A and B are shown apart, each in its own frame.
Chain A
Amino acid sequence: MKLTLTEEQEMLRKTARDFLTDKCSKKFVKQMEESETGYSGELWQEMAELGWMGLAFPGKYGGGDMSFLDLAILLEEMGRACLPGPFFSAVVLGGLSILDVGNEEQKQEHLPQLIRGKRLFTLALTEPGRHNYDASSVAMEATRDDDSYIINGTKLFVPDAHVADYLLCVARTKPRSGITVFLVDAKSPKMKHTVLKTIAGDKLCEVVFDQLSVAKANILGRLNQGWSPVEKIIQRAAVGKCCEMVGNLQRVLEMTVDYAKERKQFDRPVGSFQIIQHYCADMATDVDSARFSTYQAAWMLSEGLLCAKEVAIAKAWISQASQRVFALAHQIHGAIGVTIEHDLHYYTRRAKAAEVAFGDADFYREVVAREMGL
């Protein structure tokens, strides 16, 4: 058992932190929130050159041959920096899923492009009124038409669909049991997207398919057997969101403690008052425990171990810990923390978005209950 990072991982963390401190100011984050695409193509290319998109992919596709655990560190730093853009959807939802279940031809076709920063992907999974991450929530039908499938219906909360080149679309190919993942050309005229206005200013979309035809060759993985890989995609996405949240919460703890040391009232730093100290101690406990449970799940995923329970524990825990941390962070920051002049709101808004993404505390508590045999 070991809870520390390797030297290489520490270096990766430092490189990422330095780079993002330099490139991803809050002014930049604000610009991206207000922009149409939500990211900067220039920065995207720089990230590709640093090898970030390819970090966790095999060398034969141009990747860095590193592990999901290494990627977890990068995601944590991205969460810390509030980095806007489609990295999560392109790499965690898209690329790693293609690596998991795609055939060799699909991998050769798409992964090098992703890794070079030339192609974007996302996952179209959830649907209107069905916000649970279980198989029964997939209602969208794909019907067979010779060598193709015709997809109709609406997907909701699809991240970055407005800039994606391909969508991994999860659809029902057999009533009740069969679910299949299709790799869909996102530029098709049979697909319309609307960018939603969200708490975090990230770009979640409604995507409407109208008689969209996908060739059989673009099935990702096996026909009708898609749910089990999708479960893995959801697990990885949930842990990825946990990693972003760990970075977010850690930064908020630091900001809050710094503020408590600086801010004076009654002629002394507010951080010298015991009640503020105990709030900060509670925050630190929540952040550390969120970090360990997140990294436990990330490590298990990275090692290829079964970890439904550990993923559920990590996401259920951090989703509630996050609410507690932000309640205290705002209380300690006082009124300045609820203005847009102060940086805290970037973290508050993003944490809520991450909390509800890929399963919230209620959802994962139920997973834990099942794992306990209740």
Chain B
Amino acid sequence: MDFSFSEEQDRFRQEVRAFLEEEIEKGCWEPTCDAWVQGFDPAFTKRVAQRGWIGLTWPREYGGQGRSHIDRLILTEEMLRYGAPAACHWFGDRQVGGAILSFGSEELKKEFLPRIVKGEAYFGLGMSEPGTGSDLASLQTRAVEDGDYYVINGQKTWTSCASFSEYFDVYVRTDPEAPRHRGISEFIVDAKSPGVSRIPMIDITGTEAWNDVFFDNVRVHKKYLVGEKNRGFYQVLHQLDYERSGMERLMGNYPLFDAIIRFAKENRLSSEPAIRSRLAQLQIEFEVGRLLVYRVALVMEEGRAPNWESAMSKAYSTEFEKRLACVTMEVLGTYGQLKSGSKFVPLRGMALHSYLGSKGYSLQAGTTEILKNILATRRLGLPSS
């Protein structure tokens, strides 16, 4: 056992921090909650790419750095600590690039990976549908073969970053006769394709958090099939393990955590036993969660896909973020209800945003209930219900 970081890792963390602090100092952006998924800033993504920090773990032949998953976790942890606007590249870097690496053809790898790495290809996900949430295998969007093309029809929903996505990683039914898990395929669809349209969905905070994405006779060349035809369901399970694996589930609201602790100190609230104890409890929960997330990276470093390990860290972490928001609102009392831009608003309105926004954290990327099913069956070997 060793809970320390190597000198190189410490240096890397310092390098990332210095970069982010300089960005903030220059006024490029200010630390924001949920910025990993809502902070759209192509210029920032470009600057991150120039440092080689997208696709950090990927092989060099595709433009990656061949570095460890711990390095990537250090990088993303610091991005989240500083609330950096990394949404343009987050999905490509976290999971779609990895999916292409694991399952895609050589041609797909060459087409997309170097562009993701350069911060030039932004991805959104096409998994959920209006009638398809936790039961992903029930999806209805269809793709029908037509010569060298597939023709896609249907609707995806809850697609984060969709309004600025240039590509969608879409799961569609390619064999309606097969058992439902065995008739799904994965495609990369250019968002500019004729027949693709998007309608923004506004979340409870008033933010455009997702889009409905419609596919109306969208023609996609066969070469954009990722992996094997009809194996898409197994590929999406694999991809979801990565989607759940990161620190963003624990630190998506880190700027708020940081701000409420500072606020409590500056306003002498931290000498009140109830507040003191609750903030300390949050700190304990945070540090414990961080270890669960690092465990996931170590699993990936062994070359294994994290399965129940990322289910555990994600389920744990989203509960932490919900509690963080609740405690913060309680500490702020009547001021907590003030919205960003209002007279007297504390902490730039982050508490209110997080209180409302965090309700969705335990739903996206696998509900906590689904994650606990995974833990019960895959980790503990309990019989399927």
Please give the residue numbers on chain A whose beta carbons come within 8 Å of chain B beta carbons, in ascending order.
1-5, 69, 257, 260-261, 268-269, 271-274, 276-278, 280-282, 284-285, 288-289, 292-293, 295-296, 299-300, 303, 310, 312-313, 316-317, 362, 365-366, 368-369, 372-374
Contact = CB atoms under 8 A, between A and B. Distances in A.
B383 A369 contact: no
A8 to B, nearest CB: 12
A373 B265 contact: yes
B372 to A, nearest CB: 4
A366 B280 contact: yes
Contacts of B345: none
Q: Is the interface of A mostly helix, strand, loop or mixed?
A: helix
A257 B291 contact: no
A369 B277 CA distance: 7
A292 B264 contact: no
A296 B291 contact: yes
Given A284-B312, A285-B375, A289-B291, A277 B2 contact: no
By Cβ-Cβ distance, the 9 closest A-B pairs, closest first, are A277-B376, A281-B375, A374-B270, A281-B372, A292-B291, A369-B280, A368-B280, A271-B382, A272-B383
B136 interface: no
Interface in B1-49: 1-5
B3 A69 contact: no
Contacts of B342: none
B382 A277 contact: yes
B351 interface: no
Contact of B284 (A3, A268, A313): A313
A289 to B, nearest CB: 5
Interface residues of B, number: 44
A140 B316 CA distance: 45
Given A296-B291, A372-B279, A278 B1 contact: no
B259 interface: no
Interface in B50-75: 70
A285 B315 contact: yes
B2 A284 contact: no
B123 to A, nearest CB: 29
A289 B316 contact: yes
Contacts of B298: 1-3
Given A1-B5, A4-B1, A317-B285, 5 more contacts: A261-B382, A277-B373, A285-B316, A289-B288, A374-B279
Nearest to A69: B1
B2 A2 contact: yes
B236 interface: no
Nearest to B277: A365
Nearest to A275: B385
A292 B371 CA distance: 20
A355 to B, nearest CB: 15
Interface string B144-169: 00000000000000000000000000
A372 B5 CA distance: 22
B341 interface: no
B1 A260 contact: no
A303 to B, nearest CB: 8
Contacts, number: 138
Contacts of A69: 1
A374 B273 CA distance: 10
B295 to A, nearest CB: 6
Contacts of A1: 2-5, 70, 294, 298
Nearest to A315: B284
A298 to B, nearest CB: 8
Contacts of B315: 281, 285
Interface in B263-304: 264-265, 270-271, 276-277, 279-281, 283-285, 287-289, 291-292, 294-295, 298
Contacts of A317: 284-285, 288
B102 interface: no
B261 interface: yes
B376 A281 contact: yes
A281 B249 CA distance: 18
A293 B283 CA distance: 13
A314 to B, nearest CB: 9
A284 B375 contact: yes
A272 B377 CA distance: 9
Contacts of B375: 280-281, 284-285
Nearest to B383: A272
A237 B332 CA distance: 38
Contact of A271 (B295, B371, B383): B383
Contacts of B203: none
5 contacts: A1-B2, A1-B5, A300-B3, A313-B287, A366-B276
B380 A284 contact: yes
B371 to A, nearest CB: 8
B353 to A, nearest CB: 24
A312 B288 CA distance: 12
A151 to B, nearest CB: 35
Interface in B347-379: 369, 371-373, 375-377, 379
A3 B70 CA distance: 13
A272 to B, nearest CB: 4
Contacts of B333: none
A316 B277 CA distance: 11
Contacts of B373: 274, 277-278, 281
B381 interface: yes
B265 A280 contact: no
A310 B383 CA distance: 37
Given A2-B2, A280-B382, A293-B291, A366 B277 contact: yes
A268 B376 CA distance: 16
A26 B199 CA distance: 64
B280 A3 contact: no
B1 A285 contact: no
Contacts of A278: 369, 372-373, 376
B384 interface: yes
A288 B288 CA distance: 10
Contacts of B3: 1, 295-296, 299-300
Contacts of A282: 372
Contacts of B384: 272
Contact of A292 (B271, B284, B288): B288
A273 to B, nearest CB: 6
B376 A261 contact: no
A272 B5 CA distance: 41
Contacts of A372: 261, 279-280, 283
Contacts of A281: 312, 315, 371-373, 375-376, 379-380
A134 to B, nearest CB: 16
A257 B276 contact: no
Contacts of A276: 382
A276 to B, nearest CB: 8
